[in-house]
């Protein structure tokens, strides 16, 4: 069986080498690029099975690289994972809105990253170009809450996303694609949303309803 190909894109050559070594130890074939333009040429000439890219790079940043990859019909379904030091909520939202499949903030846990990569490639090869489906429950590490939220908002659906971690439970309420409430044991609304987005371990469950007594006012993430 042919090895899965992963394109690693970062202007930090040392990090590229470290990631490449770790991925090769997992029996992946690794392609390397050190800026967005070089990466885009590889993506179009030799499409990989997954792209792992930094954001802050010369010539073309990771956001633009993601957009150009997702705008092309031949490469739009390739899993695109951001691996970056830009950890602000606005940056994460932008990454997912451009079609990113996951957003990992440096410093990162290598074992968790390898699990995300393996799961993303498995889903890509199983589903091919099928439309992304939202699982009704699962692990946060395999399907980020931000990605779930973006898909629900895009489809203008109503749902409650319940997230459970070792020491807390969080809920995000969406009505017709708009976030109308959120809570954890220690916070509410936007503060609760930001806390839930920061959780890396735990489980989620989606219910296709929300409580009746919620406000109609949308909570902005801008």
Domain coordinates of the chain in residue numbers?
5-127, 137-207
Q: Per mean pLDDT, which range of 53-57, 66-70, 128-132 is the poorest? A: 128-132
- Cα separation, 162 vs 145, whole angstroms: 10
For the stretch 185-213, pLDDT in tens is 999 988 999 889 888 889 999 999 999 88
C-alpha closest to that of 160 among 119, 210, 211, 114? 210
Task: Provide φ and ψ at 83, rounded to 5°.
Answer: -130, 105
Predicted pLDDT at 132: 53
Architecture of domain 5-127: 3-Layer(aba) Sandwich (3.40)
pLDDT in tens, 70-97: 999 899 989 999 999 988 888 888 888 8
Distance between terminal CA atoms of the chain? 45
pTM of the model: 0.77
- Burial of 136: CB neighbours in 10 Å, binned 0-12, 13-18, 19+: exposed
Q: Is the pLDDT of residue 26 over 60?
A: yes
Q: What is the pLDDT of residue 127?
A: 66
pLDDT of residue 1: 63
């Amino acid at each position: 069986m042919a090895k899965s190909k992963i394109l690693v894109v970062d202007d930090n050559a040392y990090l590229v080498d470290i990631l490449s070594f770790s991925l090769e130890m997992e029996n992946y074939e690794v392609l390397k690029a050190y800026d967005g333009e070089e990466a885009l040429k590889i993506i179009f000439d030799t499409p990989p099975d997954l792209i792992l890219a930094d954001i802050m790079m010369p010539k073309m940043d990771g956001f633009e690289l993601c957009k150009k990859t997702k705008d092309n019909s031949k490469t739009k379904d390739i899993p695109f994972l951001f691996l970056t030091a830009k950890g602000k909520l606005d940056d994460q939202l932008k990454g997912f809105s451009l079609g990113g499949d996951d957003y990992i903030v440096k410093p990162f846990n290598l074992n968790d990253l390898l699990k995300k990569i393996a799961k993303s490639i498995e889903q890509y090869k199983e589903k091919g170009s099928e439309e992304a489906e939202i699982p009704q429950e699962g692990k946060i590490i395999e399907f980020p809450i931000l990605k779930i939220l973006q898909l629900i908002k895009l489809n203008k659906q109503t749902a409650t996303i319940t997230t459970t971690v070792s020491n807390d439970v969080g809920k995000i309420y969406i009505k017709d694609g708009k976030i109308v409430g959120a809570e954890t044991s220690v916070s509410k609304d936007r503060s609760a949303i930001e806390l839930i987005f920061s959780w890396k371990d735990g489980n989620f469950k989606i219910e296709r309803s929300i409580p009746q007594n919620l406000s109609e006012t949308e909570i902005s993430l801008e």
